[in-house]
Amino acid sequence: MQRALTQRGSARTSSPSARTELGDALRACRGAFLGVGLMSCMINLLYLTGSFFMLEVYDRVLPSRSVPTLVGLIILAGGLYVAQGVLDLLRGRVLVRIGSSLDEALSPRVFQTVVRLPLMAGKSNEGPQPLRDLDNVRAFLSGMGPSALFDLPWLPLYLAICFAFHPMIGVTALIGALLLIALTVVTEMMTRAPAEEAAGLAARRGGIAAASRRNAEVVVAMGMAGRLTQRWKDANETYLAGNQRTSDVAGGLGAIAKVMRMMLQSAVLGVGAYLVINQEATAGVIIAGSILSARALAPVDLAIAHWKGFVTARQSWHRLNGLLNVLPTQMALTRLQDPTDTLSVEAVSLAPPGEQRITVNDVTFALKAGNGLGVIGPSGSGKSSLLRALVGVWKPVRGHVRLDAAALEQWAPDDLGRHIGYLPQDVELFSGSIADNICRFDPDADDNDIIAAAKQAGVHELIVGMRDGYDTEVGDHGSVLSAGQAQRIALARALYGDPFLIVLDEPNSNLDTEGDEALTRAVRAARARGAIVIVVAHRPIGIEGVDMLLVLKDGRMQTFGPKETVLGQVLQRPAPQPIKIVADGGVTKP
């Protein structure tokens, strides 16, 4: 699905007039690029220092045996070399800062795509791949590759000076330049496919390692470590083979380019010697032409050496363009008033992101402030899917979810989040303190509000009983806490800020009796202050605090109404008749 999104976005941005966010970010650095271009102009002019120094030494100093002239040339050349070094240093630093500027401008936006992409493409996406793509683009801009590209346009100048020395020297340098340019084209053609294959294999290898790390307890406890290690090894060997093919092609062509450049330099020396023998050139032309021809082809050699990085950055650029185009920046929406009255679900049908399979079909109900709804039904009936739509993380295929008559799409996500408390089925806390997790990492959170949320969830005493209290670090994925403790802290997070809509998906799956009682008290307290609370539960204790009940089966609403009425209907349904097997193999019903 992610590949389809990327291809769709790339097709959308392929027209010449299409503007992209990455292009806009680079255009914002046009002043810096202009400065790099001017510095490249000065640097390439200063690269002529060595050639003309040798020319003057052989043609003026040696015949005249003038020491003052030699000293003057040395001082002048030294000053020019220092200026060249300073400009080269400044150009490198400017390119590093261009890469950093691009990263700073786009990294928040790219991080948002990492968060939003699973809600569109499902969980089959490549995780933080967009952030790695941005790193690849930044790394290329900050390296030697752009310097080679800025130096390439000066190749004709060097060739023109070679022709000025003598046409035969110019022709020799031109032939070498054409051969290296042809080698560059071959490098591009031969590295593109292997580089794309290596990128896909790297993602597969990383996915196996990440999944094994997330499920380390299951892997070790059930003896799966050896088999998963073998599976990762196979993926890693395939990746290494693909990466080796790419490196072999780029490295081999780079070595050929280097040898050709040295051969060209020797060829120019030979041509120059022939011209000197025939008295068609001076001795200084031999050395100057050799140095100049080598310098002329150095950018091509450097470009080939960094071609693998260029290909990687180009692939990352296209992927980022596609993703950012498919997931555009969300428009600023009018800030609505805080919801206080109703939640209405209007003929909502749902499909998991990236799939066509309908999991919830035409569900309709409405709740008022102070209502508590329990959602029950067999596994796979669509309960969790419905809850994801109620909090706005899944977009309905049909229908609408509304708060006080306003569809959820009319709310800015951050504004909507202030009015929603959500406890998902798979609880996960973020690296940070308990207080940070409860207040949703709000830097302006009031400590009293944090403690109030913890007390509502019945977890205050548990927290203060820890060594560092609310400042206890929960570790990566909340690894320091037990499953029950993490679930109760996640409940406090859902209650923080007194949200209007509280949605709890199996909130007591890891709770003991004390936790169940605290959950029931929290649900009743939230309803008492005018909140709407929706609870999915498989145990009766989970729906003690609600007054309404919704029954789902096979993604469809079976019944909805007051809890006692719905429970009575469910309990009065006749049980399935037993089937008897008679002696002759027939089947009868009593």
Helix axes 307-326, 225-277, angle to 10 degrees: 130
State the DSSP H helix or E strand holding residue 447, giving kind and residue range, or none if neither: helix 447-456
- What are the C-alpha distances in Å from 482 to residues 241, 434, 478? 42, 13, 8
Tokens linked to 506: 């199996």
Q: Point out the residues of the chain with pLDDT beneath 50.
A: 1-17, 125, 575-576, 578-590
pLDDT in tens, 499-524: 999 999 988 887 778 888 888 999 99
Q: Cα–Cα distance between 571 and 198 in angstroms, integer?
A: 59
Question: HEC states along 63-116?
Answer: HHCCHHHHHHHHHHHHHHHHHHHHHHHHHHHHHHHHHHHHHHHHHHHHHHHHHH
Cβ–Cβ < 8 Å for 180, 300: yes
Write the CB contacts of 218 (distance below 8 Å, at least 6 apart in sequence).
Answer: 224
Write the CB contacts of 205 (distance below 8 Å, at least 6 apart in sequence).
Answer: 232, 235, 236, 239
Write the CB contacts of 77 (distance below 8 Å, at least 6 apart in sequence).
Answer: 49, 50, 53
* Number of alpha carbons in the 13 Å side-chain half-sphere of residue 584: 2
- What are the C-alpha distances in Å from 190 to residues 136, 144, 300, 424? 20, 21, 17, 48
pLDDT score for 529: 93
pLDDT score for 14: 43
If we measure between CA atoms, which residue out of 327, 312, 324, 319 comes closest to residue 21?
Answer: 324
If we measure between CA atoms, which residue out of 416, 561, 434 comes closest to residue 503?
Answer: 416
Q: Could you list the beta-strand ranges (E) of 181-267.
A: none
Q: Cα–Cα distance between 26 and 45 in angstroms, integer?
A: 27
If we measure between CA atoms, which residue out of 299, 291, 308, 295 comes closest to residue 253?
Answer: 308
15: DSSP letter: S
pLDDT score for 574: 54
Q: Cα–Cα distance between 286 and 289 in angstroms, integer?
A: 5
470: DSSP letter: G
Q: Cα–Cα distance between 407 and 418 in angstroms, integer?
A: 16
pLDDT score for 105: 86
Concatenated DSSP letters for 363-406? EEEEEETT-EEEEE-STTSSHHHHHHHHTTSS--SEEEEEETTE
Cβ–Cβ < 8 Å for 296, 177: yes
Tell whether the torsion through CA atoms of 305, 306, 310 and 312 is positive or negative: positive
